[in-house]
Amino acid sequence: MSGLEDLYREIILDHYRSPRNRGELPTPPAHRVEGYNPLCGDEVVLYLQVDDGMITDVRVGGQGCSISQSSASMMSAAVKGRSIAQARSLVRSFKSMMSIHEQRLDGGDAGAGSDGTTLEVEEAPEPVDPEAMGELAALQGVVKFPVRIKCATLSWNTLSQGLDELETGA
C-alpha cells in the first residue's frame, strides 16, 4: 500500500526536474511576491507581469520539495496568458480539488453515510472538472498524504496573495 505512484506521478517529477518559467522578472514593472512554509522551509517566489488585467508573464524562484516546486511550475504554465479573473478561478478550482479529496479520504464515500470524521474545510468545495484542470489533475494524489497538501497549495496561495496585492495596489 505504497501509494507512492499517486504522489510522485511522472508529470510531477518532470516538472520538478525541468521546472517551467524558472527565473526572475524586473520589478517594476513585474510584481514580486513570496510564499513561505515555515514548518518545512519550502519557499516560492513569484514574479507576475500583468498588463490590462492579463497575466502576460510569470517567473518562479525559490526552493523546496518536489511537490511544492512542481506545483509552482505547473501553476505558472497554467496561468500564463490568462486573465486575473481566470487565474483566480483556477486557484479556487485547484484548492477545492485538494479539499474534495481531503473529505473523501476521511469519510469514505463523500455524502450519505458519513461517519462524522469528515474533515472541516474552509469553504464549501466547488465541483471540479478534472478535464478542465489539465495536467494539474496529476496533483490530486497529494491529498492522500495530508502533510504534503500545504506543499502543493503553497504556490497557489502565493499567487492569490500576489493578485490581491496587484488589485489593491499594495
Binding interface with other proteins (CB under 8 A): 2-4, 7-8, 13, 40-41, 43, 63-67, 69, 145, 148, 151
**CB 70 to other proteins: min, Å:** 11
The grid coordinates listed for 7 are 504522489
Dihedral pair phi/psi, residue 71, rounded to 5°: -65, -40
C-beta closer to other proteins: residue 13 or 170? 13
Cβ proximity to other proteins: between 45 and 67 the closer is 67
Which of 90, 98 has the CB closer to other proteins?
Answer: 98
State the nearest-atom distance from the C-beta of 33 to other proteins, in Å: 20
CA 103 to chain CA centroid, Å, is 18
Could you tell me where the beta strands, DSSP code E, fall in 86-154? Answer: none
CA distance 132 to 118: 26
Q: Which is nearer to other proteins, 104 or 144 (CB)?
A: 144
Do residues 98 and 149 lie in contact, with contact meaning Cβ atoms separated by under 8 Å?
yes
Min dist. Cβ of residue 129 to other proteins (A) = 29
Instruction: Name the strands in the sheet holding 31-37, side by side, starting at the edge strand that comes first in the sequence.
Output: 31-37, 42-51, 54-63
In the bound state with other proteins, the residue whose beta carbon lies nearer, of 102 and 125, is: 102
Q: How far is the CB of 65 from other proteins (least distance, A)?
A: 4
Please report the DSSP string for 53-103 in residue order: TEEEEEEEEEE--HHHHHHHHHHHHHHTT-BHHHHHHHHHHHHHHHHHHHH
CB 66 to other proteins: min, Å: 5
